[in-house]
Amino acid sequence: MILTVTPNPCLDKTWQVDKLQIDKVNRPLLTHTLAGGKGVNVARVLKTLGCNAVAAGICGGATGKMILQALSKEGIAHDFVRAQGETRTCAAIVNTTDCTQTEINEAGPVLTRSGAAKLFALVDRLLTENNCKWLALCGSLPPGAPDEMYALLTEIAKSHGVQTALDSSGTALIRGAEASPFLLKPNRAEAEYLTGMAIGCRDDAVHAAQIVQERYHIPAVVITLGEEGAVFVWNNKLYVASSPAIRFVSAVASGDSFLAALLCTWMLGEGDESACEALRMALGAGAANAELVGAGLCTREAIVQKAREVMVHCSTLQSYSAYSAQQL
């Protein structure tokens, strides 16, 4: 089983317009309302891939209720702590003419001490009750949450012998990385923030992944690079993968789709081949998601189809360094 945690979920509202007109009345061609937040998106794709998963988190107010109802309607197993305050709404306007997406994301309600304590207790209980392989900690923290929230959840997972995957940003990411989760999935900007280095090309990303791995003692680091694919370091091996060509619509939640497919596929086997296959499926999911409006709504067939087009190059870190040095 995979447990995803979203401390700051949202109700995602997406309006699709053919041309966004500022300071004018806009009428959407399509409106989507979806339970959202990164861990929720991950749980959605895990369900699509047939993986046993539970989405956990904190929610409150009428919006929180709507999220729980939406999750039930989608058939996504969930267990959320009810807390004070109104869960946030995040709005996105997708402009089909120029493929831009304008987002307005509320900060979310302030998390109280008792709300945080309830979440820790919930995760501890769910890890005790279930045979869990991965704990996926996803997204931003709500205002008022301790910066070390993900570090504390990582410690809880370790006490249960469960591997943690962390996908966050800013201080929550740094504090979380300091607890040495098993896997870290920053995108390019997050990896730049973590390392302080500019990531222009894939070689830079490989270097950044190694820095993150060594500095924070993290066994597996995967940096996603949007349409340029991803680099993955694990077990003294380096995997470099290219994204398949797509008809781009919106890459929002491509990273979440990527993480879901990576964890779900990696769970099925051990060793290098399994890691390579997991990366292939992850890129397939990221690409399939980017062809649609909405977060993690791609089908299993689309993921598998895209995954077939992914090229993964595997080498040892030493041989890659020697190869890179020769290119200089």
Ligand X SMILES: Nc1ncnc2c1ncn2[C@@H]1O[C@H](COP(=O)(O)OP(=O)(O)OP(=O)(O)O)[C@@H](O)[C@H]1O
Q: Is 227 in the site for ligand X (CB under 6 A)?
A: yes
Check: CB of residue 135 under 8 Å from CB of residue 153: yes
* Given 111, 256, 265, 303, the residue binding ligand X (CB under 6 A): 256
CA 292 to chain centre: 17
Q: Which of 62, 106, 119, 116 is nearest to 85 (CA)?
A: 62
Sheet holding 183-184, edge to edge: 78-82, 53-59, 2-6, 134-138, 163-167, 183-184, 220-224, 230-234, 237-242, 311-316
Q: Least CB distance from residue 254 to Mg ion, whole Å?
A: 8
C-beta of residue 296 within 8 angstroms of C-beta of residue 310 = no
Q: How far is the CB of 77 from Mg ion (least distance, A)?
A: 23
Task: Find the binder of ligand X among 10, 254, 275, 298 (CB under 6 A).
Answer: 254
Q: Does position 115 bind ligand X by CB under 6 A?
A: no
Strand partners, 104: 91
Q: Considering only residues 226-255, where is the footprint of Mg ion by CB under 5 A?
A: 255
46 touches ligand X by CB under 6 A: no
39 contacts Mg ion (rule: CB under 5 A): no
Minimal distance, residue 168 CB to Mg ion, in Å: 9
Tell me, by CB under 6 A, how many residues bind ligand X.
Answer: 21
222: left (phi > 0), else alpha (psi -120 to 50), else beta?
beta
287 binds ligand X (CB under 6 A): yes
Stretch in the footprint of ligand X (CB under 6 A) among 9-17, 20-28, 107-115, 245-253: 245-253
146, interface contact from Mg ion, ligand X, none, CB < 5-8 Å by kind: none
- Asked if 142 touches Mg ion (CB under 5 A), the answer is no
Contacts of 149 (CB under 8 A, 6+ apart): 7, 116, 141, 172, 175, 176
Question: 253 touches which of ligand X, Mg ion, none (CB within 5 to 8 A by kind)?
Answer: ligand X
Contact 8, 140 (CB under 8 A): yes
Q: Which one of residues 218, 255, 298, 303 is an interface residue with ligand X (CB under 6 A)? A: 255
Q: Give the nearest distance from C-beta 291 to Mg ion in angstroms.
A: 18
Of 8, 256, 48, 267, whose CA–CA distance to 162 is shortest?
267
Name the site residues for ligand X (rule: CB under 6 A): 187, 224-227, 229-230, 243, 246, 248, 251-256, 258, 283, 286-287, 290
Name the site residues for Mg ion (rule: CB under 5 A): 187, 255
